[in-house]
Amino acid sequence: MDSIERFIEQMANHAEADGLPRISGRIMAYFVINGGPFSFSEIADNLGISRGSASTNTRLLRDLGILERYQKPGSRQDYYVLAVQPYQRLLKGYIERMESSINNIKQLVDAPETELPTAALERLDALEGFYHTAIESTRVALEKTGGNHA
C-alpha cells in the first residue's frame, strides 16, 4: 500500500468517524489528490465502486457542499469538481447540530408542564452556554476561512 492509498484509506476512516459512509471519504480524497473534473463514470470506475454507491455518495458530498456538479456542453455525463470553499459547509453543519441541541434544551426549560429544580436549570444553562461559545468560535473559523458570505 503506497502513501496515496494510505491517505485515501485514512480519509475513509475519518469520514466513518464522522458518521459518513467510507466511500464518501474516499471520493473526497480522490478529488483532493487528483483534482478534477471527473465524470460520474470515472469516479465509479477509478475507485472501483458500484454506480449505485457513486450516485448516493456524490449526492451526499454535493449536499455537504464539498463537490459541485456541472454539465459539460455537448456531453450527457455529469461532471464533478471540488467546490470553491469545500469545507465551510461542514462547519455550518456543526453549527446547525449545536443549534439543534440548544433548541432541545430550550424546549425542556420552556415546557409549561415541567417544574425543574433550580440546580437542574443551572446545569441546563451551563450546557447551553457551552454550545453558544462553541457555535461562536465555529463562526469565527468560518469567517477566517472565507465562508462569511452566507
Residue 118 near a second copy by CB under 8 A: no
Measured from the Cβ of residue 59, the count of other Cβ atoms closer than 10 Å reads 13
Q: Within positions 40 to 99, which residues make up the interface with a second copy, using CB under 8 A?
A: 82, 87, 91, 97
Q: Which residue in 9, 36, 37, 39 binds DNA (CB under 7 A)?
A: 39
Residue 58 near DNA by CB under 7 A: yes
Q: Which residue in 11, 23, 27, 43 binds a second copy (CB under 8 A)?
A: 11
Binding footprint of DNA, residue count (CB under 7 A): 23
Q: Which residue in 11, 28, 29, 54 binds DNA (CB under 7 A)?
A: 54
Q: How many CA atoms, within 13 angstroms, populate the side-chain half-sphere of residue 18?
A: 18
Q: For residues 113-142, b (16+ Cβ closer than 10 Å) or e, as one string? A: eeeeeeeeeeebeeebeebeeebeeeeeeb
Q: Which helix (H) or strand (E) holds 140?
A: helix 118-144
Footprint on this chain of DNA (rule: CB under 7 A) = 19, 21-24, 39-41, 48-59, 76-78
